[in-house]
Chains A and B, each alone.
Chain A
């Protein structure tokens, strides 16, 4: 409806604008979107955000609890720039616990955009710039260290990269497969449709995790960690496309009878052309929604697989691998910060779910809000 501030010329709203408007109605979806964006940036530029190399081992500094960041020093003086103290390892004689005492004689301010360890980005750029860090001799383990003295925050960041990549590429490939197969199935019908329907039914009859587990065991032990990484993506792709294929097929079936399709047919346009140019764009929004919903499922699946020891293999690190370090009760009892990767998974999956939910509501014209 035109109002006083718009030009008098009547202006319609496109589907896209309607979708965006619906999306904006949901605060949760927007939060989710922001978090997802943030995660993407962090994981792509992981080395920049990570204050330490995720494999940097310091045997004398194992199981440091999340380090305290100070603004006030021993004398009570305030410093604008937060700082940490160096840590001295020791053992509490009454409990035999590992303790770290702060050496308050020297402050280590935390700087932004520091230069420390070198890394390569995308295999091309070399850099040593990091978001934050401190001087030589000081430590800034915001989330503590693990059993080999490796910085947990850095490991969570790099682990997130692997988990996200696995989930994202797995979802992407499966979305592509599902969309194409579903579209062809819905469009062509006949024997092709019948066979794919059977296959889809078959694959959907199995609970996903046991099937993932069974196939992961088939990955040869001799493969290097990167090969296993690719193998997991492959498995995820192979087993996730049925859901999308079904959706797409349904949509395609309804579109197939539409006039613009019969018209294109009449002109003599080849079938694949029709599928790709006319039918698919209409279902693309649904594909994106399902993609966004599949990613968190795959993150959880990778987490479970690696947790059970069947997924990503060390020295590659993923959130599931990090959590498998947290299974022993002695770790939980003494070093509970090792469980933090679970929070990372939780936040990520939550964000994707909010986003995906919001997208689905936005795209689906028949839903209420």
Chain B
């Protein structure tokens, strides 16, 4: 088992390195850098002459090492990350990138995980119903509904929900807390307020995955329900319900657990746009802003982290699966 884990880890390393390099390349693709933006601001807002601004900006470029060749910058960046966990400096936040990301990563992952749980729970329940009532009107209706969830653009859904909440229910929308609870100790009231805000992004981001989970659940359950060991269990006299829940469901859940790895990218993508609409303090808006202003260490680090999270969650899913399913051996 440990050998398996180690082997997968080692195998993942070159991928991770490639990911980091690719991220850095992509982020540096646009011409210019953050200093170009800064230079423009200096000339406009501060009334510096273009020459003065250029000189000052050149100073800053040198201070941040932005004038060094590409590979040198990449080497420095990745070296700092590996050796000291230093992801570079964010020009727009004036703080180390790690601080910026760290303070927001938690919320980002929380929403993604909760959305996944939502899509799994709802998807599984609907899938079970569909499989056991195959061909019925309910089955078709749920199928259509699941597809609906899959097809609706999440920013559109966020807009619609926001509209209904604000104009029909007069609720506060935006962020994770109402203003009086933003900086406050954790009380019951704050917790309730948090939930009241949290459900919107969770549902919006989770609806897309619901369809997939439902389809998979349904298909697998149908498979399993017709398989040998279930027939055996039935013939032994077990009640239908017991058969379904005890044997069939458990075996069908496997792929869904595995899907966490696959679902992660979709969840994170969906979250970026949803956060922009709902003004959530997650990485989404920060990433968008970093791209536009070429805050490259921030953008590059986040892009890389997304990929790394994906690789790791795949790995974890593999491990969990191997642990849960005795059929898979790790010779």
Contact flag (A, B; Cβ within 8 A):
yes
Report B236 CB to chain A, min CB distance, Å. 25
Contacting pair A326 B159 (CB below 8 A): yes
Residues on A with C-beta less than 8 A from B277 are: 327
For residue B233, which residues in chain A have a CB less than 8 angstroms away from its CB? Answer: none
Whether B223 pairs with A303 at a CB distance below 8 angstroms is no
Which residue of chain A lies nearest to B307 when distances are taken between CB atoms in the complex? A205
CA distance A339 to B163 in the complex (A): 11
Interface residues on A, range: 35 or more
Within the assembled complex, what's the spacing in Å between the Cα atoms of A217 and B269? 16
Which residue from A202, A307, A332, A357 sits with its C-beta under 8 Å from B155?
A: A307
Do residues B151 and A353 form an inter-chain contact, with CB atoms below 8 A?
A: yes
Within 8 A of A (CB), among B277-310: 277, 287-288, 291-292, 294, 299, 302-303, 306-307, 310
User: How does the 8 Å CB contact mask read for B1-45 relative to A, with 1 for contact and 0 for none?
Assistant: 000000000000011001100100011011100000000000000
**B265 lies within 8 A of chain A by Cβ:** yes
Cα distance A346–B22 in the bound complex, in angstroms: 33
Contacts of B150 in A (CB 8 A): 349, 353
Name A203-231 residues within 8 Å CB distance of B: 205-211, 213-215, 217-218, 220
The residue in chain B whose Cβ has the minimal distance to the Cβ of A336 is B163
State the CA gap A104–B29 with chains docked (Å).
59
Asked if A214 and B299 sit within 8 Å, CB to CB, the answer is: yes
A218 B159 Cβ-Cβ under 8 A:
no
Docked complex Cα distance between A310 and B287 (Å): 13
Which residue of A198, A205, A211 has the most chain B CB atoms within 10 A of its CB atom?
Answer: A205
Once the chains are docked, how many angstroms separate the CA of A345 from the CA of B152?
Answer: 7
Which single residue of chain A is at the shortest CB-CB distance from B223? A368
For the complex, give the distance between the alpha carbons of A28 and B142 in Å: 12
Instruction: Tell me if B147 is interfacial: C-beta within 8 Å of chain A.
Output: yes
* A368 contacts across to B, CB distance below 8 A: 219, 222-223
* A contact residues around B292 at 8 Å (CB): 217
State the CA gap A28–B151 with chains docked (Å): 14
Cα separation A296 to B151 with both chains bound (whole Å): 8
Please indicate the chain A residues that have their CB under 8 angstroms from the CB of B156 in the complex: 303, 323, 339, 342, 345-346
Could you tell me the distance between the alpha carbons of A116 and B223 in the complex, rounded to whole angstroms? 58
What is the bound-complex CA distance between A353 and B149, given in angstroms? 11
Check A201 for interface membership: any CB of B closer than 8 A.
yes
> B265, A206: Cβ atoms under 8 Å?
yes
Residues A210 and B272 in contact in the complex (CB < 8 Å), given A28-B144, A327-B277: yes
Closest chain-A Cβ to B158's Cβ sits at a distance in Å of 10
Cα distance A333–B173 in the bound complex, in angstroms: 14
Contact of A209 with B148 at beta-carbon distance under 8 Å, contacts A326-B159, A327-B277 already known: no
Partner of B151, one of A202, A217, A350: A350
Bound Cα distance from A63 to B162, whole angstroms = 21
Q: Is the CB of A304 within 8 A of B166?
A: no
Q: Tell me the nearest residue of chain B to A301, going by C-beta.
A: B269
Bound Cα distance from A333 to B151, whole angstroms: 25
A206-B303 in contact given A303-B153, A304-B155, A326-B159 (Cβ < 8 Å): yes
Q: In the assembled complex, which residues on chain B have CB atoms less than 8 Å from the CB atom of A213?
A: 272, 287-288, 291
Instruction: Determine the chain A residues whose CB is within 8 A of the CB of B129 once the complex forms.
Output: none
* A339 contacts B159, C-beta separation under 8 Å: yes
**Which residue of B30, B159, B294 is within 8 Å of A327 (Cβ)?**
B159
A201 and B15 contacting across the interface, CB-CB below 8 Å: yes
* Chain A interface, >50% SS class: helix
Query: Does any Cβ of A come within 8 Å of B266's Cβ?
Result: yes
In contact, A332 and B159 (Cβ under 8 angstroms): yes
One of A27, A209, A214 near B273 (C-beta < 8 A): A209
- At the interface, yes or no: A48 with Cβ under 8 Å from chain B? no
CB of A241 within 8 Å of the partner chain: no
Contact assessment for B288 and A367 in the assembled complex, using a CB-CB cutoff below 8 Å: no
Could you tell me the distance between the alpha carbons of A27 and B306 in the complex, rounded to whole angstroms? 39
User: In whole angstroms, how far apart are the Cα atoms of A362 and B166 in the complex?
Assistant: 45
Q: Which of B18, B26, B268, B302 contacts A215 (CB 8 A)?
A: B26
Residues of the A chain whose Cβ atoms lie less than 8 Å from the Cβ of B159: 323, 326-327, 332, 339, 342
The 0/1 profile, CB within 8 Å of B marked 1, for residues 312-334 of chain A is 00000000000100110100110
Tell me the bound Cα distance from A323 to B158 in angstroms. 12
B311 touching A28 by the CB < 8 A rule?
A: no
- How far, in whole Å, are A368 and B220 apart by their CA atoms in the complex? 10
Query: Which residues on the B side are within 8 Å of A108 (C-beta)?
Result: none
For the complex, is A121 an interface residue (Cβ under 8 Å from B)? no
Once the chains are docked, how many angstroms separate the CA of A304 from the CA of B273?
7
B26 and A207 within 8 A (CB): no
Q: Tell me whether B276 is interfacial, beta carbon within 8 Å.
A: yes
Task: Give the CA-CA distance A207 to B264 in the complex, in Å.
Answer: 8
- Tell whether A148 is near chain B: CB-to-CB under 8 Å: no
Question: What residue of chain A has the Cβ atom nearest to residue B163's Cβ?
Answer: A332
Note all chain A residues with C-beta closer than 8 A to B299.
Answer: 214
- A213–B15 CA distance with the chains assembled, in angstroms: 22
B186 within 8 A of A: no
- Known A342-B159, A345-B153, A367-B219; judge A210-B310 contact (CB<8 A): no
Does A308 have its Cβ within 8 Å of any Cβ on chain B?
yes
CA distance A207 to B151 in the complex (A): 18
Is there a chain B Cβ closer than 8 Å to A289's Cβ? no
- List the B residue with the shortest CB-CB distance to A342: B156
**B29 in contact with A207 (CB, 8 Å):** no
Contact A210 B268, CB 8 Å, known A339-B156, A339-B159, A346-B148: yes
B31: chain A residues at CB < 8 Å are 220
B178 contacts across to A, CB distance below 8 A: none
B169 to nearest A CB, angstroms?
14
For residue B311, which residues in chain A have a CB less than 8 angstroms away from its CB?
205
- Chain B interface (Cβ within 8 Å of chain A)? 14-15, 18-19, 22, 26-27, 29-31, 140, 143-144, 147-148, 150-153, 155-156, 159-160, 162-163, 166-167, 219, 222-223, 264-266, 268-270, 272-273, 276-277, 287-288, 291-292, 294, 299, 302-303, 306-307, 310-311
CB<8 Å pairs between A and B, sample of 25: A198-B18, A202-B15, A202-B18, A202-B22, A206-B265, A207-B265, A208-B265, A210-B268, A210-B269, A211-B303, A213-B272, A214-B26, A217-B291, A217-B294, A218-B29, A303-B156, A307-B153, A307-B273, A323-B153, A329-B163, A339-B163, A345-B152, A350-B148, A368-B219, A368-B223
8 additional A-B residue pairs with CB within 8 Å, beyond A326-B159, A346-B151:
A201-B15, A210-B287, A214-B303, A218-B30, A303-B153, A310-B291, A339-B160, A353-B150
